[in-house]
Structure 1
Amino acid sequence: MGKVAVAAIVSLWVIPISILLNHVVPHPYMDEIFHIPQAQQYCKGNFRSWDPMITTPPGLYYLSLAHVASLFPGMFYTKGASSVSDVCSIAILRSINGVLAIACSILVYEIIRHLRPALDDRKATFYSVVLALYPLHWFFTFLYYTDVASLTAVLAMYLACLRKNYWFSGLLGALAVAIRQTNIIWMLFVASSGIINITIDRQRDKADVDDPRASIRKNGQQAPEKRVIFGSNMRKRKIGGVVDASEHWTPTGSDSSKSCISGLVDEIVAVCLAILRAKKKFFVSFAPFIILLAAFVAFVRWNGSVVLGAKEAHAVSPHFAQIFYFGLFSALFMAPLSFSFGRAVTFFHSFWKNKPHGFFQAFLALIAGFISVHFFSIAHPYLLADNRHYPFYLWRKVINAHWSIKYLLVPLYVYSWLNICTRLGKFQRRIWVLGYFVATAAVLVPAPLIEFRYYTTPFFLLTLHSHDNDIMSWILMGSLYLALNVFTMMMFLYRPFHWDHEPGTQRFIW
């Protein structure tokens, strides 16, 4: 088992389904009608050509050129760049996402092994395969969209940061932003995680110096008493034990809402002080991130918008309801973990134990939810007009079926988000959880369109850091993903339909 097994298993569905899809849908579909001709222009060497309807940077097209060059080595040199356009076919361009999906599954495996070193290798392999089946990620593996490349670049950046290769992480961050500009938020999140890890390492080193038993441990001897300290990737870790404490640690009664707030403030202060005391070290370590951020700000100022094209249709909007949609969406796609009886009992018990603070938090969250869905729930024209997307039906048949539905869903939204925060807070530092929430909100709230593809990166980060070990829940989750994937692909391939007002075949898509 291991990353080779993960890659082999993912390849078992990537290759045959890619062949099937290219046979049934040989022409560009949906956003491919913009991306594929643009990539083919790059294949011809026309780097000044640009379709004004494309909103994302050209990172995927440059990756595609590298992909084509790897498949046909010497093509650029022996026959000239014009010949490359002959091999930049739709199938070849789509295949880049198949390759990236396999690479992404390996990155997921490596991140799981890094975050949870005590986890059994077979479980890490199984978890990686289940996440590779995540429906939004799985479906767009077979089309020429930016989603798979974007997720792969972000996870590669994050893994490099976890391994303390900050400069390499910054370079991968530049690649991620070149694929999708909203990845600048995840770049900032990754950099913040790196700063938090450095702060924790400094605190741990100081604790070892202050501990008279530090020399005993450094000499490889067992200290007579196990001591619990904070680790960089998990909430707590036992020194001198072979058990990963993150698998077993549960909140104690001292983790009340009041202590959580004071603990969060303490962590923020500790990080700020660490930065002030070692400004030069942090500046040198994270210089690529700083340069990238400055370049991005300059680009937005020059461009007048975050998006490159179709600026009117993608104007920034205060779509606060979007963050609540993500919470429920994630809970549903982790339903065996989120809505199990045991999970519900644990969740409500923690709130009952920490009353009245827990109830006050829930009350504030409910108020925020009602305000968001009432004043900041946006129905984008694309959402209302395009019946090829599943969100179109979700909006019409569920959210907008009756005026009361959107309010009745608020308790579910709040439960989902509180469940996310308690799950993450069980194993991650409070400042990390806050950073995750802020980054997710910064990516989703400005987006006026309900687009489930935007949820992929925060969903992966949530799942990777949840540390849920119930193998039966993971089996059920994998079965759910598999059933959804079969359904959506069958609908896409074999249930086409036509519009009266526009020629061509239409297909159902996420």
Structure 2
Amino acid sequence: MNSAKPESGLVLAARYAVPFVLLAIPFWMSQVSAVVPDPYLDEAFHVPQAQAYWHHKWTHWDPKLTTPPALYLWSYVICAITLFLRGSPTELSPEALRATNVGAAAVFLPWRLQTLLDTIRKERNNRPSGAWLSHTVLNICLFPPLFFFSGLYYTDVLALLVVIEAYNWDLKRTGPLTPVPSRTVIFFIVSLVALVTRTLGRNAKPCRSTKFADIFRGGLENEVYDPLVSEASIEDYFKTAISLGAAVLGNLGQIIVSLMPYLAILAAFGGFVLWNNGVVLGHKEFHTAGIHLSQMLYIWPYFVFFSWPLLAVPVANLVLPRSMLPKSLDYGFPDKQKGLPRILTVVAVVPLMLIIVHFNTIVHPFTLADNRHYVFYVFRILRSHPAIIYAATAVYFFCSWAVISAFGFSTASSSPQLISVPRTEQSPAGKGVKEASKLKKEAKSTASSKKPDQAPKPQPMSREAFEKIKEALSQRQRQQAGTSRVSFVLVWLAATALSLITAPLVEPRYFIIPWVIWRLHLPRQPTPQIYREKRSSNEKASLDAKIATNLPLFLESFWFLVINVVTGYVFLYKGFEWPQEPGKTQRFMW
């Protein structure tokens, strides 16, 4: 944890600008309600159900609804409090219900995201780093699919808020877990694996061996192999999985005890699935769970499309030689981190992707029938020629490599250097010093002669020992910068896969939670090496370093705002009609 430092005017301005930018969310909702006052698309199911609850018709349920009633209960509580304080609303219009979603998106979600980031980073938002934390929270709230549905009465904002709150409770361990909606319950299930990982990590020793057999034996003896992402190869992911599995076997009693409070919730959910004959509540014929592995291919271009401001320069640092990088963009990544994916990685992953594309490309009838969604046009491109879906595999692979590598995009401060102090010639002015030194040595010699055991003289540090210390300091700095370990990536991938591959539909909304968790765990933006080496107290040089470091964050904000303005304008003012529904405006949306 860093020591507190005085905050500059720039830092304070960046932090206090956050709530003002978040006013874009209620502004967006007001524009939607002005142009589209009636329920639109899925709102036609959500709004009447919330209104039924408002009139205390608790047994009423629309069989077309697929999710639990958390959204409607949330709206009931918020509107009841507002009615008590202000005397309105007495009836729940679509605008009033949308406003409850705005409250979740613009007030509660930023607050809980901030709390979660403080816990993950182990630092409070009361220092210069607080501006970076707040800016990260702001960009998450501006994430286009999330921002878009914050102005409509959809379940996505509240679903994310519940997952974030469950994550907060889990990390702080101060109370019971909050039950999550059915569409995101897989993240809770896999969070048990994360809990197991943390339980093992608290008492485990690092495993130094890199051999599979030694890693397995070490896991049984409470030694965990879990390198940083920035230092890991594809083999390390398999080794970490083996190590964690062996460690669970070696600590089975402790693991079971730590999971006991969670198993009751998991058992309750299992009982619900058996009673309901499925996860979703309604429209089961269109939401039948299956195996849709291609979802884990589509997610990577999705991440890169939205997050290229954070990925572009670090990826260029990995694939380009330093001679081709401007000094202001050179992060000084270590040589072992640089380079394109290894041939072994390509051979292991690309054929698997091709098999998934060939045997498990599923196009839901809704996807091809509804031209109001952007995914409709993406699949029009993918299906325009039989070879395109296979050629897209190269895009999936490169994007997945960039996204997972981003967990290790961090830089350490300038490493210490081993220097030699030259001996100086004796000068007349130094004779007194020499005499004093001589007397001091004689006194020490006399004192030591009275002792039976003389302490060994310190030896100069070898270069090998110095390099080990240097590497240890560098690794510690990367950990403090927020670089994730392989075990976290494995848990995140498992949670993402299990939550997506059961969904037959491809919708950008389904990728919101995986993206947010990924974004929360990204390290701080790297600082170009030229600024790390200067260590100048000059105000201008310090400002240049801050600008160079935080430019990707501001570019991400700008990119999100551009997308939100364009998609919002298209939704509001570029409506069209279907021939089969004349006079009814259809609107483009995520």
Give TM-score, length-normalised by structure 2: 0.70
Q: For residue 298 of structure 1, what is the aligned residue in structure 2?
A: 271
Deviation per CA, 1:338-375: give whole Å up to 9, x if none: 333x4144268999989999322222211111111221
Q: Which amino acid aligns with 1:343?
A: V
Deviation readout 1:241-291 (Å, 9 max, x if unpaired): xxxxxxxx8845xx44444533442233234433423533x145xx1x312
Q: 1:58 deviation in Å?
A: 0.9
| C-alpha distance after superposition, 1:84-126 (max 9, x if no partner) | 9942111111111111112112222222222224671111111
Per the alignment, residue 267 of structure 1 pairs with 244
- What is the Cα deviation at residue 199 of structure 1? 2.5
Alignment-mate amino acid for residue 171 of structure 2: L
The answer as to whether partners of 2:49 and 2:61 remain within 8 angstroms in 1 is yes
Distance 2:64 2:585 in 1: 21
CA contact (8 A) 1:337 1:343 kept: no
Of 409, 414, 426, 2:392 maps to: 409
Q: Which runs of 5+ in 1 are unaligned?
A: 79-83, 206-234, 237-248
Deviations 1:373-417 (A, max 9, x none): 221111111111111111111111x21222221111111101122
1:83-232 → structure 2 map (5 Å cutoff)? 86-102=90-106, 103-117=108-122, 120-165=129-174, 167-168=175-176, 170=177, 172=178, 174=179, 176-177=180-181, 181-203=182-204
Q: 1:43–1:85: 8 Å Cα contact kept in structure 2?
A: no
Paired AA for residue 459 in structure 1: W
Residue 336 of structure 1: CA displacement? 1.9
| Pairing 1:105-504 to 2, within 5 Å after superposition | 105-117=110-122, 120-165=129-174, 167-168=175-176, 170=177, 172=178, 174=179, 176-177=180-181, 181-203=182-204, 251-252=230-231, 255-277=232-254, 279-280=256-257, 282-284=258-260, 287=261, 289-340=262-313, 342-346=314-318, 358-396=342-380, 398-424=381-407, 427-469=483-525, 470-503=549-582, 504=584
Deviation at 1:154, TM superposition (A): 0.4
1:34 Cα deviation after fit = 0.4
Amino acid corresponding to residue 114 of structure 1 in structure 2: T
Alpha carbons 2:310, 2:552 under 8 Å: kept? yes
Q: Which amino acid aligns with 2:283?
A: A
1:24 alignment partner in structure 2: 35
**Measured at CA, do residues 57 and 6 of structure 1 come closer, stay the same or move farther in structure 2, by a change above 3 Å?**
farther
Task: Tell me which amino acid in the other structure corresponds to 2:196.
Answer: I
Which sits farther off after the overlay, 65-74 or 373-382? Answer: 65-74
**What's the offset of the Cα at 1:203?**
3.5
Q: TM-score scaled by structure 1?
A: 0.81
Is 1:425–1:433's contact at 8 Å kept on the other side of the alignment?
A: no
**1:444 and 1:390 mapped to 2: Cα distance?**
18
**AA of the residue aligned to 1:406:** I
Question: Given the superposition, is the C-alpha separation of residues 161 and 7 from structure 1 closer, same or farther in structure 2, using an over 3 Å criterion?
Answer: farther
State how far apart, in whole Å, the 2-side matches of 1:54 and 1:2 are.
Answer: 44
* C-alpha separation in 2, matches of 1:260 and 1:384: 37
Give the 3 Å change call, closer, same or farther, for CA 363–343 of structure 1 in structure 2.
same
Give the distance between the partners of 2:367 and 2:36, measured in 1 at CA. Answer: 24
Q: Distance in 2 between matches of 1:128 and 1:33?
A: 31
The more displaced of 255-264 and 378-387 is 255-264
In the alignment, the residues of structure 2 paired with residue 27 and residue 278 of structure 1 have an alpha-carbon distance, to the nearest angstrom, of 51
Query: Compared with structure 1, are the counterparts of its residues 151 and 266 closer, same or farther at alpha carbon in structure 2 (3 Å cutoff)?
Result: same
Q: Which runs of 5+ in 2 are unaligned?
A: 1-11, 207-225, 322-333, 410-482, 526-548
Q: Which residue of 1 aligns with 2:461?
A: none
Does the CA-based 8 Å contact 1:154-1:183 persist in structure 2? yes
Aligned-pair Cα RMSD in Å = 3.0
Residue in structure 2 matched with residue 239 of structure 1 by the alignment: none
CA 1:90/1:353 → structure 2, altered by over 3 Å: closer, same or farther? closer
